[in-house]
Chains A and B, each alone.
Chain A
């Protein structure tokens, strides 16, 4: 049976295509602008494509700020952050699903409440705490707080994943004499590696994109992450948008490579674990 295309349907399809175009347009414009000359940006009528490819913008982006270092800082911070998040998150989720402790519901509600907290209610005490603990301007400091802020989402996702594994798997391993950590590593981790990977990717993106905390806690160059470094290309008098675009492309390339490679996992993570009753 072939469906006929009615006028209403045609309009809907047109709107959808328009909307999808609007979703990607800013990204495409950014990439295009990063190759433009300054004159292209203010040309009338507006230019969609550079009149000639200006690779020099990237050269300037790489030399004006130590952006490679910022990217490395972002990578290291995000990786430490997801490591903390996944290990503590897995242990907590296992405990919440498989052991008989009291106050599970309370703990889960409490975790949920944390994710509703405005950042400004914690940022100043954390700044002072870090200042005393010498954690300001360190990648580890930023990754710890970043991990804690992503913990609620991780725990919610992983408790749902743990629930889906039959208890019998664990019991048979226990009869064979496996200890707790063996059970976790040899039974659960292999079964849950897809879920753990999905939420890990989502945590990674979330950590990479954290701006406010990074700006406040790591103001110095040595541990500055790339989303903060990016804002330093704007000069006092003018904003050289072609250079800023090149820097912005450098900032998001790692992210979008990950999104492109792992979009199935990300969608799986958002769709399965996002919110479930």
Chain B
């Protein structure tokens, strides 16, 4: 009977496991495999030629790849840290019984539910040369000229990051809120009796208790920021001069525009390895989530 139950357990797991195997595991292995070959769509008929680590050597020597990698990292660090700070403030506010709590929670769902492509389209219009922001600023007498927010490297990067923070802070704050709601109120009451101030309570009670939730949330946001694609495609399409092109965008172009599959695979593997290394720092928090 127990044996039968065990077999049944494996059988029930099968559909999910098979889907994951075919569509995630095998493709990942295949990409790693392809990264060791000279393999191009145009010459696919001639087959793949094993080139060892050549693609990786090329990746490491490719200045544009490192430009995209640095930009992806800066984008990730800036957006995720600001999202964390704003998200935390918002989560604390949302956890309090204040009037209009329902409205606040409903409003933060707007950016969360919006497709990144649509968010990108709206923000690109706001930052456009003849767009909303410039038209708004023109009303001031000291503004004499329109500024190309998305046409200059620095401001294009900042604009893209603002749009991302707008889009993803709600998700961050809702997950942080889920952590806050599990904290027993009595801790705060006891601390108040002991004369602890707000700041002290935040660092000594809130932060340690939601640390596991916070770490996992941060990890998820970091990894999804590292693969950012839709939002930037819609806003700048990687411009001006490739300055907002992310690793994902470069790899996609290498695969599907240039047809250089071996090289694109090597780039993807480098991004995968970086993601793995980052995840390592969070392993303990992840384990606590499994238990």
A contacts, CB < 8 Å to B: 16, 19-20, 22-24, 26-27, 29-30, 33, 41-47, 84, 87-89, 91-92, 94-96, 98-101, 105, 107-127, 129, 144-145, 147-148, 151, 155, 180, 205, 208-209, 211-212, 216, 227, 230-231, 241, 244-245, 248, 251-252, 255-256, 259, 263, 266-267, 270-272, 274-277
Q: Which of B50-58, B77-85, B187-195, B220-228 contacts A (4 or more CB under 8 A)?
A: B220-228
Beyond A211-B233, A251-B118, A256-B110, 16 extra complex contacts between A and B, CB < 8 Å: A30-B118, A46-B133, A84-B19, A95-B9, A116-B279, A119-B229, A120-B251, A120-B264, A123-B27, A124-B31, A124-B264, A124-B268, A125-B31, A209-B115, A245-B121, A277-B291
CB <8 Å contact, B30 and A30: no
CB <8 Å contact, B126 and A26: yes
Interface residues of B in 95-127 (CB under 8 A from A): 103-111, 113-119, 121-123, 125-126
CB <8 Å contact, B113 and A111: no
Once bound together, how far apart are the Cα atoms of A111 and B103, in whole Å?
A: 34
Residues of A within 8 A of B177 (CB): 271
* Contact A267-B5, Cβ < 8 Å, known A44-B138, A109-B290: no
Q: A123: which of B20, B119, B132, B252 is its contact (CB, 8 Å)?
A: B252
CB <8 Å contact, B121 and A248: yes
* Contact A30-B122, Cβ < 8 Å, known A121-B28, A124-B31: yes
Give per-residue flags for B265-291: 1 if the beta carbon is below 8 A from chain A beta carbons, else 0: 101110110010001000000111111
CB <8 Å contact, B13 and A274: no
Residues of B within 8 A of A227 (CB): 115, 117-118
Residues of A within 8 A of B238 (CB): none
Once bound together, how far apart are the Cα atoms of A110 and B13, in whole Å?
A: 13
A85 to chain B, nearest CB (A): 9
With both beta carbons as reference points, the residue of chain B lying nearest to A106 in the complex is identified as B290
CB <8 Å contact, B248 and A119: yes
Q: Does B161 contact A (CB under 8 A)?
A: no
CB <8 Å contact, A88 and B15: yes
Residues of A within 8 A of B261 (CB): 124
Q: B2: which of A100, A107, A120, A241 is its contact (CB, 8 Å)?
A: A100
Q: Which of B152-160, B200-208, B209-217 contacts A (4 or more CB under 8 A)?
A: B209-217
Once bound together, how far apart are the Cα atoms of A271 and B109, in whole Å?
A: 12
Residues of A within 8 A of B45 (CB): none
Residues of B within 8 A of A33 (CB): 125
B93 to chain A, nearest CB (A): 6
With both beta carbons as reference points, the residue of chain A lying nearest to B11 in the complex is identified as A95
A-B contact pairs, 18 of them (CB 8 A): A20-B104, A22-B166, A26-B123, A42-B130, A92-B13, A100-B5, A101-B6, A114-B24, A117-B272, A118-B226, A121-B28, A121-B268, A125-B30, A211-B115, A212-B229, A216-B256, A274-B175, A274-B178
Residues of A within 8 A of B269 (CB): 121
Once bound together, how far apart are the Cα atoms of A96 and B115, in whole Å?
A: 32
